[in-house]
Amino acid sequence: MLDAKGYHGDIGYELANAFRYPGALPDLLRDPAWIAWSRGIYAEALNLPQARLAQWAAVKCALSIVWRANGALTDDPEANLLSVLLACARNT
């Protein structure tokens, strides 16, 4: 079950979007070291396994890509971010 407010369900869902912001810093957002550093802080604060939070970050990024596509998946500005988030999720 997904619960965007974190009342019921996986708490990692709510914070996963933080890996996509601030959008004005695309190079920082795609830096695996920054992702790992952020993931560690967020996971500790939420008492959540880092791998689980990394997986949610990739899911939320993919979901945004699909919503923006409006039915036709083409080149998306966050496709490379999704690739980095997926790699980080696999490496936790």
Per residue in 26-80, pLDDT tens?
A: 999 999 999 999 999 999 998 999 999 999 999 999 988 888 887 777 778 888 8
27 in any annotated domain: yes
Task: Take residue 9 and report the two structure tokens written for it.
Answer: 């369900």
Query: What local confidence, expressed as pLDDT, does residue 42 receive?
Result: 92
Query: Does 26 fall in a domain?
Result: yes
Nearest alpha-carbon partner for 57 in 44, 76, 38: 38
| CB distance 35 to 84 below 8 Å | yes
Q: Does residue 1 have a pLDDT over 70?
A: no
Q: Is the pLDDT of residue 2 over 70?
A: no
- So what's the pLDDT on residue 6? 55
Q: Which pLDDT score, from 0 to 100, does residue 21 have?
A: 87
Q: Are 20 and 64 in contact (CB under 8 A)?
A: yes
Alpha helices in the chain (DSSP H): 12-15, 26-29, 32-46, 50-69, 79-90
**Predicted TM-score (pTM) of this structure:** 0.80
Whether 17 is covered by a domain: the verdict is yes
Is 24 part of any domain?
yes
Q: Is 5 part of any domain?
A: no
pLDDT 10s digits, 9-25: 778 888 888 998 888 89
Structural domains in the chain (count): 1
Angle at 41 between CA 9 and CA 43, to 5 degrees: 25
Range of the domain at 27: 12-57+71-90
Residue 62 domain-assigned?
no
What does R_g of the chain's alpha carbons equal in angstroms?
A: 13
Q: Considering the domain boundaries, does residue 63 fall inside one?
A: no
